[in-house]
């Protein structure tokens, strides 16, 4: 039987034929794809014609088509439906791919052609998009170390290969800890838990083949358990497991990996002439340098910590009234905060969840996209990689735009968190193609036959990831390398965080937040409570996030710490971290930073983008409504369709006329009045 990975898909819209792919197909297909790519690169280098845009830059972009066809389905599977066989393949592929791409970056003859085209750029008559493509390709080669020679070039290649191995190991260790740990609950332990949580715990017990309900390290289970369980001993046990992922000792401990990754990043940056990794990484971001990042984060840290400390005093008093002897601890925060939220806002997640059905929230996200951008979503039967995954065709005025895949439920084979990726990105060159966009979430799966219910945070996550998906779907650029979310890291979260705002638009909730049993819309009184509580506990949420962002920054802005855990403790002590709050992501489970370079020295980017998203939604409000067609048109024209085809700052100024200040963010989080 022929390898299905080695020929074009004969499925509708050339969707990957996941139903025909076997794990055993990947390794031989990768070997052939790497060889094909090597041959394509060799042909570019051997071209006797003088280097020009078409025979060098465009040819580079056209190369690797077979490699993309092999890797796109593999990475979709390895992130969302991992198996021991796929994990073994990933461990084998990571250094092999790093070596392959490092060799291309170190190919001096290839770089010489790129350099010569770059130096002749003013005489080539390129339009704006081709000039941008040339700039980015040349910059990418320089930053990858193409100008290095001799021992420096060899060391750079070795560093890249080792970082690929370490990043894969970090991710797989974290997945193993999350997959293997669970806490059995006796029937008596269910006292005080809402029915939705009991139901999810029973479903998790079935998945783990246990005789009763269990709590796993899935956020959709452990967070509500910490909110509702009156059993302080069980809360502590669950909380300690949650924050200890990646540092449980043994084969899955990530602490040594983190130290080595930081040291190698510093060495890599210094080989390229940068003082440290933060200087290297931030050079291409909107922020530009570490001090700009630090300034933003500290402007937010001070009012957030003041709010969190005031909240902690209130919660500690509540715990004391409850008979708590001793210190108020981190595993107490969510429990007493939930009690306080119910008392202050009369809002109970257990009462709210029946109004937040997964299917209705998907409809809401689709409907907002229709009203804003004219997109329509129709279910379509395609060969998905897991029975939980669903697909839709996206059209506009009858014309095909994209395929959207949603994979929403937590399972042991899926890494934690939520993300958006593209199995195929939009492009005109090197070949015309429409996008295949994937949203992956980790919502609690209900028992068979029951509808999935979301928390309000879950619903916000769904809208967030769909905002990323719109950035991919509405992309309208020439080159795949700048398509969709291929933008500066501190700009990429703008569309996703901006889209969260539509979940809070009253008319959206009134239409789609309907009760699972009665079908009635969320009562106005409850809606008012939901919107009124939107900024509840923002001190806690902002502190745990900003602490993580600052630790990430300090890891990379200076000498790499030999002991990252000691450095983490030092940074938090200097900040005056409130005792009962921990970082959102402790170092050994900080996958954003250590599974790859994506968010390294860049975890701050969510907040950088939030400065813009608060200001961008204000543009709709100033125009008279969340669905103003003129503002929506500008948003698509100047941001969503442009990808990375122009500098992020230029695009935002075209949309809004100026860059925003931090004031809109503080107001949006309700921290503008904090001490």
302-313 pLDDT tens trace: 999 999 999 999
Q: What integer is the mean pLDDT of 549-565? A: 98
Domain boundary among 203, 228, 245: 245
Percentage of residues in the chain with pLDDT exceeding 70?
A: 99
Torsion, CA 298, CA 662, CA 441, CA 401, rounded to 10 = -150
**Domain assignment of residue 633, yes or no:** no
Least Cα distance to 59 among 46, 77, 72 occurs for 46
Give the mean pLDDT of the chain: 95
The pLDDT tens digits of the residues spanning 4-36 come to 999 999 999 999 999 999 999 999 999 999 999
pLDDT(354) > 70: yes
pLDDT at 25: 97
Cα 128 vs. chain centroid, distance in angstroms?
30
**CA–CA distance from 257 to each of 167, 264, 396 (Å)?**
8, 11, 47
Burial class (CB in 10 A: 0-12, 13-18, 19+), 319: buried
CA 274 to chain centre: 27
Domain boundary among 482, 504, 532: 532
Residue 223, in any domain of the structure: yes
Under the banding of pLDDT at 50, 70 and 90, the label for residue 674 is low
What number is the average pLDDT over the span 559-585?
97
The answer to whether the beta carbons of residues 513 and 351 sit under 8 Å apart is no
Q: What is the mean pLDDT of residues 503-528?
A: 95
pLDDT at 1: 65
Predicted pLDDT of residue 84: 94
Pair 126, 186 in one domain: no
Judge whether residue 675 has pLDDT over 80: no
Residues with a known catalytic role: 465
44 located within any domain? yes
487 and 431 in a single domain? The answer is yes
Q: Are residues 407 and 486 in the same domain?
A: yes
Query: Do residues 162 and 238 both lie within one domain?
Result: no
Sign of the Cα torsion 475, 480, 484, 487 reads: negative
Beta partners for residue 438, in sequence order? 405, 421
Q: How many CB atoms are located within 10 Å of the residue 297 CB? A: 21
What pLDDT, on the 0 to 100 scale, is given for residue 549? 98
Q: 19 and 164: one domain?
A: yes
Q: Which helix (H) or strand (E) holds 441?
A: strand 436-443
- What whole-number distance in Å separates Cα of residue 106 and Cα of residue 221? 47
Look up the pTM and report it. 0.92
Confirm whether 372 is domain-assigned.
yes
125 shares a domain with 218: no
Residues 45 and 128 in one domain: yes
Residue 292 in domain: no
Determine the pLDDT at residue 663. Answer: 86
The string of pLDDT tens digits covering residues 31-86 is: 999 999 999 999 999 999 999 999 999 999 999 999 999 999 999 999 999 999 99
Average pLDDT over residues 645-661: 95
Together in a domain, 22 and 96: yes
Contacts of 225 (CB under 8 A, 6+ apart): 193, 197, 201, 215, 234, 235, 238
Domain assignment present for residue 43? The answer is yes
The pLDDT tens digits for 508-517 are: 999 999 999 9
129 domain residue, yes or no: yes
Q: What are 389-432's pLDDT values in tens digits?
A: 999 999 999 999 999 999 999 998 998 899 999 999 999 998 89
Q: Which residue matches tokens 């796993």?
A: 216
Structurally, how many domains does the chain consist of?
Answer: 3
The Cα angle at residue 76 between residues 73 and 82, in degrees rounded to 5:
110
How far apart CA 643 and CA 129 sit, in angstroms, is 11
Give tens-digit pLDDT for 159-208: 999 999 999 999 999 999 999 999 999 999 999 999 999 999 999 999 99
Contact indicator for 540, 581 with CB cutoff of 8 Å = yes
Tell me: pLDDT of 121 over 60.
yes
Q: Residue 409: which CATH number?
A: 1.10.1370.40
Structural domain including 451 reads 353-532
Kindly state whether residues 145 and 219 are assigned to the same domain: no
Is it the case that residue 607 has pLDDT exceeding 70? yes
Whether residue 37 lies inside any domain: the answer is yes
Domain boundary among 175, 206, 225: 175
Residues 435 and 523 in one domain: yes
- Residue 512: the pLDDT is 98
Are 186 and 171 in the same domain?
A: no
Tell me how far apart the alpha carbons of residues 418 and 442 are, in angstroms, rounded to a whole number. 6
> pLDDT per residue over 445-497, tens digit each?
998 889 999 999 999 999 999 999 999 999 999 999 999 999 999 999 999 99
- 23 Cβ neighbours under 8 A, 6+ residues apart: 83, 85, 86, 89
Residues 30 and 120 in one domain: yes
Half-sphere exposure (CA, 13 Å, Cβ side) for 537? Answer: 20
């Amino acid at each position: 039987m022929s390898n299905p990975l080695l020929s074009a898909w004969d499925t509708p819209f050339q969707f990957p034929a996941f139903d025909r792919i076997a794990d055993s197909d990947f390794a031989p297909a990768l070997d052939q794809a790497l060889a094909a790519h090597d041959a394509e690169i060799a042909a570019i280098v051997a071209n006797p014609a003088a280097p020009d845009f078409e025979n060098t830059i465009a040819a580079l972009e056209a190369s690797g088509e077979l490699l993309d066809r092999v890797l796109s389905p593999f990475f979709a599977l390895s992130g969302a439906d991992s198996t021991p066989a796929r994990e073994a393949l990933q461990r084998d592929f990571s250094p092999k791919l790093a070596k392959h791409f490092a060799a291309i970056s170190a190919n001096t003859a290839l770089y010489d052609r790129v350099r010569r085209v770059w130096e002749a750029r003013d005489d080539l008559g390129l339009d704006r998009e081709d000039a941008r493509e040339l700039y980015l390709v040349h910059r990418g080669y320089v930053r990858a170390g193409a100008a290095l020679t001799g021992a420096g070039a060899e060391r750079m290649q070795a560093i890249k290969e080792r970082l690929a191995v370490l990043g894969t190991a970090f991710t797989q260790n974290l997945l193993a800890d999350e997959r293997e740990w669970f806490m059995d609950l006796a029937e008596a332990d269910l006292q005080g838990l809402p029915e939705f949580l009991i139901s999810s715990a029973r479903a998790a017990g079935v998945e783990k083949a246990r005789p009763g309900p269990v709590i796993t390290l899935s956020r959709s289970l452990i967070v509500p358990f910490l909110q509702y369980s009156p059993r302080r001993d069980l809360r502590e046990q669950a909380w300690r497991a949650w924050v200890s992922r990646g540092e449980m000792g043994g084969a899955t401990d990530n602490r040594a990996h983190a130290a080595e990754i930081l040291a190698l990043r510093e060495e890599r940056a210094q080989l390229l002439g940068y003082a440290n990794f933060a200087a290297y990484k931030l050079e291409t971001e909107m922020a530009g340098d570490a001090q700009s990042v630090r300034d933003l984060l500290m402007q937010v840290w001070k009012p957030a910590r003041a709010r969190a400390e005031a909240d902690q005093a209130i919660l500690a008093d509540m715990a004391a009234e409850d008979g708590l002897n001793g210190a108020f601890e981190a595993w107490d925060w969510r429990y007493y905060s939930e009690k306080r939220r119910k008392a202050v806002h009369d809002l109970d997640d257990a009462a709210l969840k029946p109004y937040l059905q997964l299917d209705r929230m998907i409809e809401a996200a689709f409907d907002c996209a229709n009203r804003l951008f004219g997109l329509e979503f129709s279910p379509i039967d395609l060969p998905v990689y897991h029975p939980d995954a669903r697909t839709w065709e996206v059209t506009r005025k009858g014309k095909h735009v994209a395929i959207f895949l949603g994979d929403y439920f937590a399972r042991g084979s899926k890494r934690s968190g939520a993300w958006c990726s593209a199995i195929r990105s939009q492009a005109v060159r090197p070949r015309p193609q429409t996008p295949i966009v994937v949203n992956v979430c980790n919502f609690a799966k209900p028992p068979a036959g029951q509808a999935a219910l979301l928390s309000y945070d879950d619903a916000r996550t769904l809208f967030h990831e769909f905002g990323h998906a719109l950035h991919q779907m509405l992309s309208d650029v020439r080159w795949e390398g700048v398509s969709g979310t291929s933008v500066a890291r501190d700009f990429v979260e703008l569309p996703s965080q901006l889209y969260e705002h539509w979940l809070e638009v009253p008319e959206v909730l009134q239409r789609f937040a309907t009760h699972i049993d009665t079908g009635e819309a969320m009562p106005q009184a409850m809606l008012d409570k939901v919107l009124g509580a939107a900024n509840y506990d923002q001190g806690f949420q902002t502190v745990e996030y900003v602490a993580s962002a600052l630790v990430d920054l300090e890891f990379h802005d200076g000498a790499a710490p030999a002991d990252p855990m000691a450095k983490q403790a030092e940074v938090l002590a200097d900040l005056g971290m409130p005792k009962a709050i921990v970082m959102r992501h402790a170092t050994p489970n900080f996958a954003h930073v250590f599974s790859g370079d994506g968010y390294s020295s860049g975890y701050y980017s969510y907040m950088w983008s939030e400065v813009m998203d608060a200001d961008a939604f204000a543009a709709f409000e100033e125009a008279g409504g969340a669905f103003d067609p003129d503002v929506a048109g500008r948003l698509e024209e100047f941001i969503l369709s442009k990808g990375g085809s122009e500098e992020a700052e230029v695009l935002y100024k075209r949309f809004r006329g100026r860059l925003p200040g931090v004031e809109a963010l503080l107001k949006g989080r309700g921290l503008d009045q904090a001490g």
